[in-house]
Amino acid sequence: MVADGSSWMRVTAVGDKTQMGKIASALVDDPYKNETPLTAKLTRLAKNISAVGVAGALLIFTVMSVESALTSPLIKEVAPKTLGILGAVAVLMGMCVVQFLLRPFFKSMDMELRSFGVKFLCFVPMVAVSMALLLGIYGVATGTPGELVFQEGFNLLDSVLLSFVVAVTIIVVAVPEGLPMMVTVSLALNMMKMARQNCLVRKLVASETIGSATVICTDKTGTLTENRMTPVWAVLGAECYSTLEAMTDVPKNPNWERLVAGISVNSSADLNIQEEKDGSRTIHGIGNPTECALLKFLDAADVSYAEIRGKFHVENQLGHNSQRKMSAATVLDGESDTDRNSLVSGEKSTLRTFIKGAPERILARCSRILVNGTVEEIGPYRERLENWVAEASARALRVLAFCEAEADWSQESALENAAQEPTGILTGIIGIADPLRAEVPPAVAQCAKAGIVVKMVTGDALPTARAIAREAGIYTGAESELVMTSDEFNAISDADLPEKARALRVLARSTPADKLRLVKALHHDGDVVAMTGDGTNDAPALKFADVGLAMGQTGTEVAKEASDIVLVDDNFKNIVTGVLWGRTLFQNIQRFLQFQLSVNAVALLCAVIGPCVGVPLPLTVTQLLWINIIMDTFAAIAYSTQPPRVSVLNQPPIPRDSSIITAEMMINIVLVGIYQTVMLFAALFGGWFVDAEHVYDRSISALDPSYLEHNLPALTIFFTMLVMFQFWHKFNCRSLSGRESAFADIFKCRGFLSIVLMITVTQIILVQVPQVGIFFRTQPLTLLQWGEITLLTSSVLVVGWIARKIALFFSRS
């Protein structure tokens, strides 16, 4: 940063041509990112539920209207000719309603009336309803108050209006208003619980999306390893120090001073050393972890890197990046005693450059080697050096080579051109160990059980990456598993890349651009990808991945901003924890939908069947709205509090294009819905739990004042049984398959039990308090009746268990 003064600046690139411009250009919207797997499934479900709800409402509207018209005495009072005229007008009205009322209504619900079949299915009910409406209008218009024709016409209009209200209520009941709340509450709870597990969720929906992950692309350093780097291997000249004990002899080597200079000067890291009262020292690295490990190595050898660094005046410096895989620092030669002892006897140069980086890059730029303090040609030693580097890489060590050049290589072009005319002097090679986290192999094994493929994308050399991947369990050595370098990866055509990407397990010497290309290739086949990253250049890959995971300790702010989740401690195990919570959230949504659609099915069947079997209004609008509250608001809260079950990590991930309603769930919904409906009408017509005087009488018209007086006890039993069925069915819906119990970990679900208890108490109040019963068409029941109803409705647990076993049998078949 320039504080004051003036200068000339050369602009070499602007806009999209700059490095930040390239990153910004890559951070464009991705079609997969705009729609997460959950939102895609919920969108499809919402359309299906809306279609079923509207179809059910039209059916109920038609059935109730036609039933009212056919049972009305008015139809016998109308002359056949007049009836024909009314029918013709009804046809015209039906066409107008479909064209001008239903089309806008369907469009508002994101549905279209286009095909002839759908239009015809809407046209027929509208004609029937229009006929009933015209018949009622005819009766009111032709009769006079007090006459039978007028009264029957008025009653028919009242019945059509009631049918319309019930139909609208069915739509309200069918639409899952509680689903958005349930999803939001579940996501918020997941976010807080994941935060306690060191997973900071930046975008709510990411806590579910990670549960759908089919592929995890992970870094190595700090994520799979402990990020506790220690030099444990070295080559100085013709000597190889291959054990930790042998490393104590490294400072005795004549090359030591030159290696120390290269480590100290060509580094931007520092050490914060604190002296404790007991005489101990606490050392904290500041900067690149690899460079900090090298500085700690010097400190352990009683070398002050700061003192050596202070002797040199750095003219130019070129930092390490994933493309270059090298760093360089150019200093003025001859400004220190160290520099005056030129390695090339009798020669003086103005500038000297210290370079460190990947061994293959450094060796390609070296023509000489320092052996016992003397410069020799590197040719006779090259094969031996390459074998040593290969052995170190096979031990999963991060290998860095150091060299010097009596020229300015701190410019990008000069450093690249040096490979064409190598003049560097190899001063040493160091291997750094970064132990694998103890929890990583079990976590990777758990991912395999969960059907998630783990791919390691690292900047390390291929042998090092392969060794770590084997140790972690990511790579098993199977022929179907690919291990490749960045160069090999980029040589694959875009057409062949998706197939190769699926088989890929380790990508070594990778660049941020490789990560982005890998994500796009995996998206090609519909994989849900979780990608880790820590650098600014990783931002595009984090953005394009379905779940971007930034490193909390080593990640840059740009990477964190582009990510969905931040791993506070950079630990791979926490990714698996995120998968656990994400899958739990998805299953909680499925449990809620299974319960709601079951209640929807029962309410819809009762509303349709009732008028056909002589029960004009089995459930009132008020009762339907109370049932809607039970299955929407309260159920949403109840199921959102379900804790995770470890078994979810033994199941395969949910495909991106699969339905949120599984076949097992649908079998459960249908069988339980039919069972409840049959039992409800059997109790109503069989006179269960009521005395013989109050058995439901279908011969009494709903408009007769004695209708409620006689049938109220039976209708109260009907309503109470329906609600108590849902009391038990809530437990049923905690299980999504025949592999788990409806009461699994039930005592851990205090929120669920509290809500179920609250619903039951409220239902008792609605029935037992006469002042409230007036609004809900109920009357008080005896304690014996409550006990009998509770015992009978508990049978739905057995039916639910049978339904799950049947579904399990078919799913296995």
SS3 36: coil
Selecting among 29, 30, 219, 494, the annotated active-site residue is 219
CB environment 569-579: b (16+ within 10 A), e (fewer): ebbbbbbbbbb
SS3 547: strand
Torsion on CA atoms 218, 221, 227, 228, rounded to nearest 10? 140
C-alpha–C-alpha distance, residues 420 and 415, integer Å: 10
SS3 550: strand
What angle, rounded to 10 degrees, do the helices at 148-174 and 37-71 form?
A: 170
C-beta separation of 176 from 632 below 8 A: yes
Q: Which pair of tokens denotes residue 180? A: 């958005």
C-beta separation of 731 from 595 below 8 A: no
φ and ψ at residue 254, rounded to 5 degrees: -60, -20
C-beta separation of 793 from 640 below 8 A: no
List, edge to edge, every strand of the sheet that includes 482-485.
Answer: 199-201, 565-567, 547-551, 529-533, 215-218, 453-457, 504-508, 482-485
Nearest to 393 by CA among 364, 434, 426, 354: 434
C-alpha–C-alpha distance, residues 409 and 318, integer Å: 9
Element (H, E) at 679: helix 663-686
Contacts of 291 (CB under 8 A, 6+ apart): 267, 268, 269, 285
C-alpha–C-alpha distance, residues 398 and 392, integer Å: 8
The answer to whether residue 219 is catalytic is yes
C-alpha–C-alpha distance, residues 675 and 80, integer Å: 43
φ and ψ at residue 13, rounded to 5 degrees: -160, 150
Give Cα 329 distance to the centre of its chain: 44
**Beta bridge mates, 429:** 235, 401
Instruction: Give the N- to C-terminal CA distance of the chain in Å, as an integer.
Output: 69
What positions carry a catalytic annotation?
219
